[in-house]
Structure 1
Amino acid sequence: MAPRSLQLILTCLGRYNTYFPHVDNVYSHRSTQKYKKKPFVSHYWDCRLKGRPPGTPKSDDPNKKKRKRTARERDLCDVKIKITEYFPGALQQAGFEPENGGQPASSNGFFGSNEAAQGSQFGVSIVNPTHPASHPGANSARYYTIQRVNGNGGNGKGDGVPGPHKHDLAESDRVKKNSVQRMMSKKEKEDKKQQKTYHKKASGTALMTVKKHSKDHELKLYGSCHCPFVQRVWIALEAKGVPYQYVEVDQLKKPQALLDISNAGLVPALRSNNFSMSDSTVLLEYLEDSMPNVAPMMPPHPQDRAIARLWASHIDRKIIPAFYSLLLNQDFAKQAEYTKKLQDVIQTLVHSSDAIGPFFMGPYLSYVDVMFAPWMLRLSRVMKHYRGWQDPVGGTRWAAWMDAIETNEHIPYVFCDSFSQFATLFPNATSKDEGIHVSM
C-alpha cells in the first residue's frame, strides 16, 4: 500500500474527523489484486472490527508453547473500501477507461465533494472526470480512487446501500489497541534489546551473602554485585564482621536513596545514619578509622600505614589501568605490549610484599590485599579466558599470595561462582588470543 494512499484515507474518510497517524487502527489491509493487462492495482481494506480472518492450522508440534487466546467476535462492522492505484500513463493507453469512471464513490453518500478535494494537500489526487483539465492522468501522473465496495444495508434492508461504521473510534481503540501505542511498545522493546545487558543479581556464594544482609540496618552498602570497586568495600565489611544491609542497585534504574548520596549514582556508596559517602578508597579508610579495633586491615605503625597507602595507590594508578588496557584492546601487537606492562606492574607489587606472607603485609588480610583482590580473582576468571593469562607458577611468592586470596574465608563470599557473569562485564573483549601467555 503506497504511503500517500494511506494519507489520503486520513483526509477523505469523513466518518472520522479526528486525525490519527496510523490508519490501520481503523482499517486493516486484507488483499492486493494485480492485473496482467490492466494498468492499475486494487487494494482492499476492511474495517478493523470486521473480525479476525481464518487463522493458520494448529501446530502438531508437542513442544510448541501454546498461547492463551481470546477469540474476537466476528462481523462487528461491515465497512470495506477499495483503493485503486493507477500507474503513470494509464489514461494514455488506447481504449482504457478507469473503473467507476475514475472517481470516488461520492454518489453513494460516503465521500463528500469537499472531502475529495482535500486529497491534493498530500500530493494525491481524487479524480473527477467532469474536470478533464485537472485530471492528473492527462499528464501521465499516478493517481488513486477510493470506493466503498461493500453493500450491507445502510438502510437496514441489506439491499446494497452502503452504511456507516457500526462503531466510533473509541470502540475501535478498545477492541484493537491504538497502533501508536503498539508502535511505541515495540520500539521500547527493541531499545531494551539494544541496551547493554549485564547480570543484575548475585549468584552462588555472593547470593548467600546478599540474603544474609538483606534486613534493614542503619549501615547500608549500595552496590552492584559484579563491580570490583563495590567488592572492595564488601570484602572489608565481611572481614570486619560488622552488621550491615546490602542494597543491590540496578545501574539503569538507580534509586533515589543512592542519588541522594551521589548525584551521578556511583557505587559503592555507604550510608550510616546521617553520614553518607561514595568512592571505594575513601570508604575503606572510613571503615578503618571508624572501627580501628575491629579486624584492623592497617598496620599500627604510622610508617607501615603510609607504605600500605603507597602500594594501594600503585594498584589504582598502575595495575588497574593496565588490566583494562589489555582486556579491551583488540590489536594483537598492543595486547602483547599491555600484557608485558601488566606483568611488570604486578611483579613490582609482589617484590615489595612481605617475604613470608602469604598476604601482602604478612599472615593477615590487609588494606593492600582488599584493594587488589577483585582484580586478582579476575585474572584467573576473566583474563585467563580472554587473553590467555596463565596461572602463577607453583612455589612462587605470587602463587602463595593468589592462593591466600582464593581461599580466604571472606573474599569468595562476595564473588559469584559463574564465569559467564564476569564475562558479561566486558562485551568488547574477544576470546583469548593464542600465543599471548604470561606466567609470574
Structure 2
Amino acid sequence: MDSFPGHLQGMKLIRDPPDLDTWRMILFHVDEMITLSEEQFQIYFPHIDNVYSHRSTQRYKRKPFASHYWDCRLKGRASGTPKSDDPNKKKRKRVARERDLCDVKIKITEYFPTAGALEDVAISEDMLPDMHSITMSDQKSYHTKATGQAAVTAVQHAAESRLKLYGSCFCPFVQRVWIALEMKKIPYQYIEVDPYQKPQSLLDVNPRGLVPALRHDDWGCYESTVLMEYLEDLKLGRALLPEDAKMRAHCRLWADHINRNIVPNFYRVLQEQDPEKQVENAKELQTAFDKLLAAAHPDGPFFMGSQMSFVDVQAAPWVIRLRRVLTPYRGWPDAEPGTRWASWVDAIDANEHVRATTSSDELYLDSYARYAENRPNTSQVANAINSGRGLP
C-alpha cells in the first residue's frame, strides 16, 4: 500500500527508509515529549501505526494546530466493542511492550503555522511550531527524584508552605522558576512530580498536568515565563527585572528571543538523527545565542552586567545542558576562552543559584540517552560553529 486512508490520508508510505529501526525504537518507547519535523513524521510514523490506534482528532478554533489522540492497540478493544467471531477475519499482528499492562496513550499535536498567529509557547510547556510533537503517558524508566545539589535544595524546601512549586527534576522549564525562587529567597515548598503519575493537586493547578506549576494559597498558574513574571510582580526579594520601563521591555524582548529561537533550536540539535543536519542545526543554535549576547552588556559577564537577572535565568537551564547534554551527544564544543560567549557561559554555570537547582551530570545523560545514536563528527560541529562566528 502506498497511501493511507482516514486520519493518515495524504501520507506516503516510504519503503525501507534510512534508520528505520532507530526511529521505530524512538517512537515505540516515547518517555517524554519528542518533536519531529514534518519530513520525519511523514516518513516514520506510518511504520509504527501497527501499535497505535487512532481515537479522536480535536481541532482548535482560531488556533493553528490540531491534536490527535491515540491508544496502544495492546490495550484491547474499546469499551462496548463486541469481539468478532468471524473465523475468516484476519488478525493483526501485535508486538508486546515489556510490561504487564499497556495503558499507553499518546497525543500528537500538528501545527499549521500559516493558519494564524501562534500563541507564545515553549517546547515542553506546549509544542514547537512547524513540527509534529508527540507526548506519551507512559515510559519504561525515568528519573523521579533530583540528584546532586538539586536534591539537597529539594530537601531544604520540602516543608509545607503557602507557595508551592510543582516540578520534575529533568525539566529545564521547572529549573527556570526554581532558580528565580532561590535568587529571591522567597519561602516555598518544592514538590517533585512523577510526570506519568500526576497527583490531583497538580491537575487542580494545571489540568494538562504539565510542570512547572505554582500554587500560591488558593490560586494557581503555570507556564515558566508567566510564573517568573508573577514572582516579579509580588515585589518580594531581589528584583530580576530593572526598574526602568525601557530596560524592562528590552529584557522581555530578549527573553522572548530565548523562547522562540534558542529553546527550539536546542531541541532541533538534540533530536535530529542525521549527522549532517545536526551540524547545521548546531550552527543555527550558536547564531541564536550570539544574537542574544550582541544585545547584552559588553563586559557582562551576565546579560545586564555584573549580576544575574531575568534574561540569564530564562536561558540558564539550556546553557548548563550544553556541556552536560549537547557535548557528549552532539559534539558541542567548549566556549573559546576569553570570548564574551565564554564569560557568560562560565558565569551561569558557576552561579550559586543555578548550581543549587542542578542535578548530577548522570541524571541529564540518562534523561536524554535515547538521542545518543547517530552522533556527528565532533570536529565538524566545532568547525561549523566557529566558522559561523568568525573563529578559526
TM over 0.5, shorter chain: yes
Q: State yes or no: 1:253 paired with 2:253.
A: no
C-alpha distance after superposition, 1:106-125 (max 9, x if no partner): xxxxxxxxxxxxxxxxx9xx
| 1:117-132 superposed matches below 5 A | none
Measure, in 1, the Cα distance between the counterparts of 2:99 and 2:342: 52
Q: Count matched residues.
A: 258
Measure, in 1, the Cα distance between the counterparts of 2:369 and 2:297: 33
Measure, in 2, the Cα distance between the counterparts of 1:247 and 1:420: 18
Alignment counterpart, residue 146 of structure 2, candidates 199, 202, 214: 202
Matched-pair contact (CA < 8 Å) for 1:199–1:421? no
Matched-pair contact (CA < 8 Å) for 1:270–1:283? yes
Matched-pair contact (CA < 8 Å) for 2:176–2:316? yes
Measure, in 1, the Cα distance between the counterparts of 2:164 and 2:270: 32
Structure 1 stretches of 4+ with a deviation exceeding 6 A read none
C-alpha displacement of 1:219: 0.5
Q: State yes or no: 1:369 paired with 2:312.
A: yes
Alignment counterpart, residue 290 of structure 2, candidates 347, 361, 386: 347
C-alpha displacement of 1:189: 8.9
C-alpha displacement of 1:216: 0.7
C-alpha displacement of 1:406: 1.1
Measure, in 2, the Cα distance between the counterparts of 1:245 and 1:255: 15
The letter for the 2-side match of 1:283 is L
Secondary structure in structure 2 of the residue aligned to 1:436: helix
Q: Which runs of 5+ in 2 are unaligned?
A: 1-86, 88-97, 105-137
Q: State yes or no: 1:338 paired with 2:281.
A: yes
- The CA RMSD over aligned residues, in Å, is 2.5
Task: Show the counterpart of 1:62.
Answer: none
C-alpha distance after superposition, 1:190-226 (max 9, x if no partner): 98xx824211111110100010000111110001011
Measure, in 2, the Cα distance between the counterparts of 1:203 and 1:406: 17
C-alpha displacement of 1:361: 0.6
| 1:208-357 superposed matches below 5 A | 208-291=152-235, 294-357=237-300
Which 10-residue stretch deviates more, 253-262 or 331-340? 331-340
Secondary structure in structure 2 of the residue aligned to 1:222: strand
Matched-pair contact (CA < 8 Å) for 1:197–1:424? no
Matched-pair contact (CA < 8 Å) for 2:143–2:363? no
Matched-pair contact (CA < 8 Å) for 2:296–2:303? yes
Measure, in 2, the Cα distance between the counterparts of 1:424 and 1:294: 33
Q: State yes or no: 1:384 paired with 2:323.
A: no
Measure, in 2, the Cα distance between the counterparts of 1:423 and 1:345: 27
The letter for the 2-side match of 1:325 is R
C-alpha displacement of 1:188: 3.1
Q: State yes or no: 1:188 paired with 2:71.
A: no
Residues 186 and 276 of structure 1: is their aligned pair in 2 closer, same or farther, counting only changes over 3 Å?
A: closer
Alignment counterpart, residue 416 of structure 1, candidates 335, 359, 381: 359
Residues 377 and 431 of structure 1: is their aligned pair in 2 closer, same or farther, counting only changes over 3 Å?
A: farther
Measure, in 2, the Cα distance between the counterparts of 1:393 and 1:423: 27
Residues 186 and 286 of structure 1: is their aligned pair in 2 closer, same or farther, counting only changes over 3 Å?
A: closer
C-alpha distance after superposition, 1:82-103 (max 9, x if no partner): xxxxxxxxxxxxxxxxxxxxxx
Question: Percent same amino acid among aligned pairs?
Answer: 46
The letter for the 2-side match of 1:385 is P
C-alpha distance after superposition, 1:303-357 (max 9, x if no partner): 0000000000000001111111111001122112211111111111111110111
Measure, in 1, the Cα distance between the counterparts of 2:364 and 2:259: 24
Secondary structure in structure 2 of the residue aligned to 1:276: strand
Measure, in 1, the Cα distance between the counterparts of 2:169 and 2:316: 15
Measure, in 2, the Cα distance between the counterparts of 1:307 and 1:207: 34
The letter for the 2-side match of 1:234 is W
Measure, in 2, the Cα distance between the counterparts of 1:422 and 1:279: 25
| 1:149-168 superposed matches below 5 A | none
| 1:84-163 superposed matches below 5 A | none
Matched-pair contact (CA < 8 Å) for 1:205–1:416? yes
Measure, in 2, the Cα distance between the counterparts of 1:380 and 1:228: 14
Residues 227 and 422 of structure 1: is their aligned pair in 2 closer, same or farther, counting only changes over 3 Å?
A: farther
Residues 211 and 303 of structure 1: is their aligned pair in 2 closer, same or farther, counting only changes over 3 Å?
A: same
Matched-pair contact (CA < 8 Å) for 1:385–1:431? no
Measure, in 2, the Cα distance between the counterparts of 1:290 and 1:420: 33
Measure, in 2, the Cα distance between the counterparts of 1:246 and 1:275: 16
The letter for the 2-side match of 1:302 is A
The letter for the 2-side match of 1:404 is A
The letter for the 2-side match of 1:271 is R
Measure, in 2, the Cα distance between the counterparts of 1:245 and 1:187: 35
Task: Show the counterpart of 1:436.
Answer: 381
Measure, in 2, the Cα distance between the counterparts of 1:282 and 1:385: 32
Measure, in 1, the Cα distance between the counterparts of 2:215 and 2:101: 34
Q: Which runs of 5+ in 1 are unaligned?
A: 1-122, 124-184
Secondary structure in structure 2 of the residue aligned to 1:383: helix
Which structure is higher in RCO with an 8 Å CA cutoff and minimum separation 6? 2
Matched-pair contact (CA < 8 Å) for 1:226–1:415? no
Alignment counterpart, residue 400 of structure 1, candidates 332, 343, 349: 343
Residues 262 and 351 of structure 1: is their aligned pair in 2 closer, same or farther, counting only changes over 3 Å?
A: same
C-alpha displacement of 1:186: 6.6
C-alpha displacement of 1:420: 4.4
